[in-house]
Amino acid sequence: MNSCFHPEVTAAIINYGSPGDATELVNRLAGEVAATFVVDNSNDLDDSFSSVGNTCVIKPGKNLGFGAAVNLAADKAESRWLLILNPDVRLKRHCLSRLVEASRDLHAPLCGPRFYWDDACTFQLPPALGHPLWLLSDHHVPNMTVGKTPNISAMAIVRHERFWQERAPFSEPVLSGACLLVDNHWFRQNKMPIFDEDFFLYYEDTDLCGRLMRKGVMPVCVAGANAVHYWNQSSEPPESKTRLMRDSEKLFLEKYYPNGAPPMPSSGPSASFEELGVFSSSPVLPLPVGTDALDLGVQEDFIVFARTTIRKSEFTFSSPIWKRLRPGPYLLRAMDATGNPLQYWRLEKQG
């Protein structure tokens, strides 16, 4: 529970099919922010919010998309800062205070936290990927550690390690829209909407960061401001997720690369996965000697993965994490202390 009150912060929660998570988040924010706007894109919230602090539910009557819903809340907010939140995000202690402090002290109009996957903060989530990867400068992916022709899998490992080694606020090309602290006054003064509403879903946060960098302003990730994002939990829209992502990617590339985007780096070499089978409860996984970390992913190239530090010779998912994992296939990778893979596994969680 956070206890510090922030009178200059209004929270904006965008609900789509997550009434339980939205309700819990509103209750957690009570007494910490001046007001909370919940934009109900799926029209499945009841009137119970009216009794929780200074909370207002906005029912647009249709799904506006994430960016348009945020802009609607921003137009109504009177405070300097707008805290944008997915319903499945939980702020850890001092998170909001540190975001506000960084935004004020660094004159940063856009700040974000680092995310853990679980409440116990055992799995670190990676930095937002962004697309294309040219958004990343040499400062963010040191060439001496990934070689002259790096593959995207190797870059993901280097970025993850650098991202979590930082100890003070640092510039980051792309921040996740799941939790952002926005200086709403700055955006109004610059006559700049927070999100481009042409992006219905996906890439709106990447585009926001791109527009800021075009103005010479870097987004800031605040080390020490931690939040939990229950990864891979959000409700699926009735539209195809794949189609929405493809449409947004196409829009992004046309906007930033009218003459064609540069080629993406290739993925790493194919790995050999040990098939573990289907499980209704978490398996106990013996680990090879020298395992320093275990990565959890959903793609064989591990471009996006969650990482936990290993202190034992075997691994099993905690009960809270296992319960939150969606049914389906998952990939695991054991890593040594120098960042080299030791072994790969594939398992499936039974529905």
pLDDT at residue 235 in the model: 56
| Topology of the domain comprising 274-349 | Immunoglobulin-like (2.60.40)
The CB density around residue 190, as the number of other CB atoms within 10 Å, is 13
**Residue 219 corresponds to which tokens in the numbers above?**
């987004």
pLDDT at 92 over 70: yes
Give the pLDDT mean for 174-188. 97
The CB density around residue 207, as the number of other CB atoms within 10 Å, is 23
Fold: same for 6-231 and 274-349: no
**Predicted confidence band of residue 43 (pLDDT cuts 50, 70, 90):** very high
pLDDT at residue 100 in the model: 98
Give the pLDDT mean for 255-263. 84
Q: Please compute Rg for the chain using Cα positions.
A: 20
More confident residue, 240 or 56: 56
Q: What is the per-residue pLDDT across 295-312, written as a single tens digit (0 to 9) for each?
A: 999 999 999 999 999 999
Written out in words, the top-level CATH class of the domain with range 6-231 is alpha beta
Q: What is the per-residue pLDDT across 315-330, written as a single tens digit (0 to 9) for each?
A: 999 999 999 999 999 9
- CA–CA gap between residue 137 and residue 4 (Å, rounded): 36
**Predicted confidence band of residue 237 (pLDDT cuts 50, 70, 90):** low
In the chain, what are the helix, strand and coil shares in percent, each to the nearest 5? Answer: 30, 25, 45
pTM: predicted TM-score of the whole model, two decimal places: 0.93
pLDDT at residue 148 in the model: 59
pLDDT at 260 over 50: yes
Residue 93 sits at the vertex; the CA angle it makes with 91 and 97, to the nearest 5 degrees, is 85
**Predicted confidence band of residue 138 (pLDDT cuts 50, 70, 90):** very low
pLDDT at residue 266 in the model: 80
pLDDT at 292 over 90: yes
Give the pLDDT mean for 141-161. 72
Q: What is the per-residue pLDDT across 158-167, written as a single tens digit (0 to 9) for each?
A: 889 999 999 9
Torsion angle of the four alpha carbons 243, 249, 251, 253, in this order, in degrees rounded to the nearest 10: -150
Spatial neighbors of 298 by CB under 8 A, at least 6 apart, are 232, 304, 328, 329, 330, 331
Q: Where are the domains of the chain?
A: 6-231, 274-349
pLDDT at residue 137 in the model: 44
Between 206-210, 260-264, 282-286, the lowest mean confidence (pLDDT) is in 260-264
**Residue 254 corresponds to which tokens in the numbers above?**
């046309």
pLDDT at 139 over 50: no
